[in-house]
Amino acid sequence: MSEIALLKRFLAAYKFTLSLDDVCANAALSSLSELGLVQFRESGATGICDACDLNHTVKFEIDPVANKLGWRCPAIGFVEASTEQLKTARFMPDVLASLIGSSLQCQRRKPVPLAENLLWNVGWYEFQANDLNIYLASRIRDTEDVGVIARALRAEPSLRNGLLIAPDVSSVADLTVSGCRIAAIDDVITIRGNALSTDQSRVAELAGVLINETRGRPSIFQPMLNDLISERDASGGAARTVKGEARAIRVLWPEQFPSINTPGKTTVENAIRAFQEVNKGQ
């Protein structure tokens, strides 16, 4: 499991907490820990049940018959606890917000909580004479979450060029909340080893700010994109849709050109459409 995948799993967990026994073998855990995103602690008298799908809080107790430490699950019954299950790993979303703000060189680095355990104001930065306002949501699962976030954002002084970053946007891909566009975490940040990184121009593009990096000149990515698009088309491995192929190329890009920032989604999609237009009917 990658660092981003584990990060999403923590955000989906009750109170952002997982049993240490459940994640201690995950190689990505050390990266999140060294970034300060995870804290380890003794669970004390309570913990989180991992024996069922309810993710409910449990109270540790000694079973008088078996004389073993564990907890009672309404779906399973008595569950014996291991030593590691007496410890928990808790994800710190406010630290994630702070790291994103630092990577984007936001003017305000300390994240401001706008809705408890749900929404943080990461900060703002200037890009091509535009102020971009960045927010982090721990979840957007239903209309109730959308309502809470919308009310919190309406109290913000300026929402122009706002971007709301969330773990899973599959159900709200075309939604804007109080004028903010929504982007998935893995479309915004990269975690490699012990470093979190993102890109100001990429975030500006996701926020809907017009990118004019080349000032009328051909895109610096064009020759490399043409080669990748042509190779995938010739091999028969290209995705059916422009958006699907653009996603595949952006995933492949760091492997092919590790020293060059990944081009934005719009840049890649435009290159694919141009290639298809030139090769139409062939």
- Secondary structure, 3-state, 69-110: EEEEECCCEEEECCCHHHEEEEECHHHHHHHHHHHCCCCCCC
In a domain, 51, yes or no: yes
In a domain, 19, yes or no: yes
- Please state, in angstroms and rounded to a whole number, the distance separating the CA atoms of residues 180 and 173: 12
68-109 pLDDT per residue, tens: 878 889 998 888 877 666 678 899 999 999 999 999 999 876
Of 26-35, 92-101, 136-145, 174-183, the one with minimum mean pLDDT is 174-183
- Please state, in angstroms and rounded to a whole number, the distance separating the CA atoms of residues 48 and 19: 7
In a domain, 211, yes or no: no
- Please state, in angstroms and rounded to a whole number, the distance separating the CA atoms of residues 169 and 261: 24
Query: Which domain-ending residue is among 206, 240, 256?
Result: 206
C-alpha distances in Å from residue 193, one per residue of 1, 39, 120, 151? 13, 18, 25, 37
Does the pLDDT value for residue 33 go beyond 80? yes
Does the pLDDT value for residue 135 go beyond 90? yes
* 152 and 236 co-located in one domain: no
* 166 and 263 co-located in one domain: no
40-71 pLDDT per residue, tens: 876 566 777 888 888 788 887 777 777 787 88
Residues with Cβ within 8 Å of 187's Cβ and at least 6 positions away in sequence, in order, are 206, 265
* 195 and 258 co-located in one domain: no
* 40 and 110 co-located in one domain: no
* 99 and 202 co-located in one domain: yes
- Please state, in angstroms and rounded to a whole number, the distance separating the CA atoms of residues 118 and 129: 30
At residue 223, what is the residue type? P
* 43 and 66 co-located in one domain: yes
In this prediction, residue 86 carries a pLDDT of 65
Q: At what angle do helices 265-278 and 222-235 cross, to 10 degrees?
A: 60
Tell me the pLDDT of the chain averaged across its residues: 84
126 phi, psi to nearest 5 deg: -95, 135
* 102 and 184 co-located in one domain: yes
* 190 and 123 co-located in one domain: yes
Look up the domain containing 259 and give its range.
222-278
- Please state, in angstroms and rounded to a whole number, the distance separating the CA atoms of residues 184 and 173: 9
In a domain, 39, yes or no: yes
225 phi, psi to nearest 5 deg: -65, -40
Of 147-151, 161-165, 223-227, the one with minimum mean pLDDT is 223-227
In a domain, 55, yes or no: yes
pLDDT band at 214 (very low <50, low <70, confident <90, very high): very low
* 102 and 193 co-located in one domain: yes
* 185 and 241 co-located in one domain: no
* 79 and 152 co-located in one domain: no
The 10 Å Cβ neighbour count of residue 136 is 26
Query: Which domain-ending residue is among 25, 60, 91?
Result: 91
In this prediction, residue 163 carries a pLDDT of 94
In a domain, 63, yes or no: yes
In a domain, 135, yes or no: yes
Overall domain count for the chain = 3
* 43 and 75 co-located in one domain: yes
Buried b (16+ CB within 10 A) or exposed e, 150-175: eebbeebeebebbbbbbbebeebeee
Query: Which domain-ending residue is among 91, 124, 140?
Result: 91
In a domain, 61, yes or no: yes
**Residue % of the chain over a pLDDT of 90:** 34
- Please state, in angstroms and rounded to a whole number, the distance separating the CA atoms of residues 194 and 166: 21
